[in-house]
Amino acid sequence: MQKLKRNINVGFRVTEDEQKMIRRRMAQTNIKSLRAYMLKMAIDGRVIHFEFDSINDCSKLLRNISSNINQIAKRVNETGNAYAADMEDIKAGQDKIWTQQDEILRRLAKILEVM
């Protein structure tokens, strides 16, 4: 990787309140260096930090429902019987997944509309 020589100083003054706002926004991005944060903001104009909790929750729900479906398929193959309670469990799991996916899409849309 090419080593950059940064020999030009760029600086400006801010109020205490502005500094607090900058630090608060910086903390939201998980960028630890003020220099890196300010450079990123100056060049790109925006730093987006994604929280993957919702996506991880959705993935967990998908794994759970997949496991349930596999267990039901095995039982149906062995006994020839499918139970209404099993089908309700699958439906409830799918509803949770759709709700979680809708939340993820709304959050992404909110981020993109600001850009």
Q: 102, exposed or middle or buried, with CB in 10 Å at 0-12, 13-18, 19+?
A: exposed
Round to whole Å and give the CA distance between 87 and 109: 33
Percent of the chain past pLDDT 70, that is, above it, reads 93
pLDDT at res. 1: 52
The per-residue pLDDT for range 13-38, each reduced to its tens digit, is 999 999 999 999 898 888 889 999 99
Domain limits, the chain: 1-49, 53-114
Count of alpha carbons within 13 angstroms of residue 50, beta-carbon side: 10
Tokens representing 32 are: 């630890």
